[in-house]
Structure 1
């Protein structure tokens, strides 16, 4: 039921959601982009060992994420009546702390050093699940209107983009010297700053965003059945398609951000271009922000996404097939290909809420926290595949960890191949997920929401007649 005692949905909720995604991105994007670099260059840990860590951490997440994701569906904590906000409050400080620990140059060696790296990375992963899962699922209780949810999806894409452009773009300038050598203590300082900004941003999310849809507590000792959730997920074709496409997207986001530093440092020997590349992406966001909603209104989410994916595919294949020697030509192709991926980032969260509504429409199963945790697990799977691909790939091409090491020509050329291959794999998975599996086109989505609106109105009438 909708709580009518709170203010109507408005810009304040959208602003809150911008801050909510900024909060997680301050830590998540920083760790995804630079943890591998910090561990290989500063701590001297082999890329192969890091790849093993990433895989092992995801095996733990396979157990941990669904359990943590079911918490809001199982238990309502606090006195506010909110389903998701209290869980964000619990995990936002550990997340900020984990970001600092990931970039601390500890005086350990051998087994102790490897154990420390494993500990801080697992702490980061669990803390991020504890905040990102309730934040994402919360969109379903902020409003039941699909237009409002699209606005929330766009708002959270803005948050991550602002952090990526406004904060992470300065990392190469601050943390690398004029000769592209790493300055370890600068990474630690940024970890502290980003942690503080993360907590502030989460606080602004909690203050500005309202949970309007209230779920009555289960009566008659009715227990939460996670088996029903899993059955609904397996049958949820659009959700499976979105998960596959998201794995591809995370290959692009995580893999490219991790290894991009290597290509500019080793292949082009110009890390300063990374800052210019980040700022050059601002016009892309400014173009996509007003354009994407108009395209969605006219053609639907699926058609708009497919157009962007195919556009990105063309300009991702070019540098993979033809070796680009000029750093500015390579950067231009990268930016053009980014247009399609920006559209994907802006729309993906709205697609997820559509998938959760699809479960209610087809299977009468509504467990937002649990289902959303399974979706976020697919994001982690994508990040892990990307991290493992980069880590093991660097080892396979002969990359040697440590500061001051001169890489061989074979390793440098191998870095180029790894970097340009990742976006191609991304586009293939997105085409499969959205183009071949996801089955909610514009007309079917409208049919679904008409049916759900009628169903919910009927439920309200029945409750009123009791």
Structure 2
């Protein structure tokens, strides 16, 4: 038989056996995959900088420099890993991406735990060196898991509705973890507003173990169905040439810049959350209340975004949602609130709109990957996803270090038990709301002006790609029949 494509492809089940149709099992598996990645990455994103500053008592400026350097290196190795993934030729009937996830998820979990060892009694220079080494090694291993996982959705299905569903379910994994972590973390990690070092290590170990188990389930439940035309064995994969073509992919550029700006705003906010509640509102455990209330809004967003995206279009609803959230935070920048529960209510309302960006970004990326095939006739999911991941991690590098730099700039005192000045406390509020408003506002403007795939244009592109793939499949069948005759 000729090689099949699309929903009837024969990948992932071994021996050329037909893969089961796309189903809820794929959605749940993809949810668990994102949950598995978030168990280590989001835990580190939320608490590692805080651990460095409040537990290891490293100068916030030094933390910012460390995060900036390591994240830039992490971003640089993304295209390298993506090229390796695309160069790998899976055997007929075998999966291309899940073996990477299965192999690297365990060492990634180990490095996550090692990053939270209490080294506060070590020499200052040795502390920084240890943080640097464990950070770099973890991020490399995370790339070896996350690039294949991100590429996986592009080969699980060709159906645009299924892809939007996968994007929603992927965001559900992150939302579940973030909600639990925001609720549990402040209650467990702090006593009398002060961090407990051993509890950071304990929670890191739990998250790492759960992440490893979830990713292993993903490798079993998620099936690869869309098969790119095989490359000749003597053809060398020129990933530099592919990256040049990516530079001419306007939808991908739009997604990259949109995501970069949004991540900077959101990550700076996440980096300052502890200090907003600990110092501005005076009780770090109020973060748990925000996590509990935001759960309801997260569930509402999960069920509402698909019909809204189907009606307005993915691009259109992302622009609306990010724009509304940015406008509200711009108002709060000029009119500070001191009642934490009122603030939490307004924040959760903004999340309902801003979540459009977080939920649909992966569907926009899949459309950009299809646009590359539409324009060139080639599919390079690994390199294209890693190119996106490269800039996404650059954004994380800037934003992760920026929150630390902000703390250093405003004069935050890291001494144990120190009380911050009123000027520092007011500056925390301004930095939090300002970062949110600028990040999401600019993101909405960029997506509106740069990303060309409106609802109608996306539908036209996907219909044309489906026609081309059907023609290739028919031609392949015809060639096989001629040979057999």
Superposed pair shares fold, TM > 0.5: yes
From 25, 30, 41, the counterpart of 1:12: 25
> Higher mean Cα deviation, 407-416 or 133-142?
407-416
Q: Within 1, Cα distance between the matches of 2:432 and 2:310?
A: 35
Assess if the C-alpha contact under 8 Å between 2:272 and 2:432 holds in 1.
Answer: yes
Q: Deviation string for 1:16-40 (max 9, x for gaps)?
A: 0110010000111110011111001
Aligned positions of 1:21-36 closer than 5 A:
21-36=34-49
Q: Deviation string for 1:179-227 (max 9, x for gaps)?
A: 2110110000001000110011001111111111234542250111112
Assess if the C-alpha contact under 8 Å between 1:284 and 1:339 holds in 2.
Answer: yes
Assess if the C-alpha contact under 8 Å between 2:109 and 2:212 holds in 1.
Answer: yes
1:187 and 2:200 are equivalent in the alignment: yes
1:330 and 2:340 are equivalent in the alignment: no
Q: Secondary structure at the match of 1:410?
A: helix
Instruction: Rate the CA distance shift 1:291–1:221 in 2: closer, same or farther, 3 A.
Output: same
1:138 and 2:152 are equivalent in the alignment: yes
Matched residue, 2:131:
117
1:395 and 2:408 are equivalent in the alignment: yes
From 417, 428, 437, the counterpart of 2:430: 417
Assess if the C-alpha contact under 8 Å between 2:72 and 2:394 holds in 1.
Answer: no
Instruction: Rate the CA distance shift 1:212–1:394 in 2: closer, same or farther, 3 A.
Output: same
Assess if the C-alpha contact under 8 Å between 1:252 and 1:426 holds in 2.
Answer: yes
Matched residue, 1:221:
234
Shift of 1:77: 5.7
Shift of 1:228: 2.4
Aligned positions of 1:62-73 closer than 5 A:
62-73=75-86
1:376 and 2:392 are equivalent in the alignment: no
Q: Deviation string for 1:340-396 (max 9, x for gaps)?
A: 221211111100000000011012231100110011122212211211211111111
Aligned positions of 1:362-373 closer than 5 A:
362-373=375-386
Q: Within 1, Cα distance between the matches of 2:194 and 2:166?
A: 40
Structure 1 runs (4+) deviating above 6 angstroms are: none
Matched residue, 1:232:
245
> Higher mean Cα deviation, 389-398 or 305-314?
305-314
Matched residue, 2:358:
345
Shift of 1:316: 1.3
Give TM-score, length-normalised by structure 2: 0.93
Instruction: Give me the CA root mean square deviation.
Output: 1.5
Instruction: Rate the CA distance shift 1:257–1:80 in 2: closer, same or farther, 3 A.
Output: farther
Assess if the C-alpha contact under 8 Å between 1:247 and 1:429 holds in 2.
Answer: no
Q: Secondary structure at the match of 1:398?
A: coil
Assess if the C-alpha contact under 8 Å between 2:75 and 2:389 holds in 1.
Answer: no
Structure 1 gaps of 5+ residues are none
From 258, 265, 269, the counterpart of 2:278: 265
Give TM-score, length-normalised by structure 1: 0.96
Shift of 1:306: 1.5
Q: Deviation string for 1:94-132 (max 9, x for gaps)?
A: 221122112110242222111001111112211221111
> Higher mean Cα deviation, 251-260 or 185-194?
251-260
Q: Within 1, Cα distance between the matches of 2:185 and 2:92?
A: 41
Matched residue, 1:204:
217
1:434 and 2:443 are equivalent in the alignment: no
> Higher mean Cα deviation, 72-81 or 316-325?
72-81
Matched residue, 1:294:
307
Shift of 1:146: 1.3
1:163 and 2:187 are equivalent in the alignment: no
Shift of 1:79: 8.2
From 39, 56, 61, the counterpart of 1:48: 61
Assess if the C-alpha contact under 8 Å between 1:76 and 1:82 holds in 2.
Answer: no
Q: Secondary structure at the match of 2:237?
A: coil
Q: Within 1, Cα distance between the matches of 2:391 and 2:233?
A: 34
Assess if the C-alpha contact under 8 Å between 1:78 and 1:86 holds in 2.
Answer: no
Instruction: Rate the CA distance shift 1:433–1:365 in 2: closer, same or farther, 3 A.
Output: farther
Assess if the C-alpha contact under 8 Å between 2:264 and 2:398 holds in 1.
Answer: yes
Shift of 1:80: 6.0
From 58, 76, 79, the counterpart of 2:71: 58
Q: Within 1, Cα distance between the matches of 2:97 and 2:280?
A: 45
Matched residue, 1:127:
141
Q: Secondary structure at the match of 1:235?
A: coil
Q: Deviation string for 1:37-81 (max 9, x for gaps)?
A: 100111011110111112211331243111011111111367862
From 8, 13, 37, the counterpart of 2:50: 37
Assess if the C-alpha contact under 8 Å between 1:359 and 1:366 holds in 2.
Answer: yes
> Higher mean Cα deviation, 39-48 or 331-340?
331-340
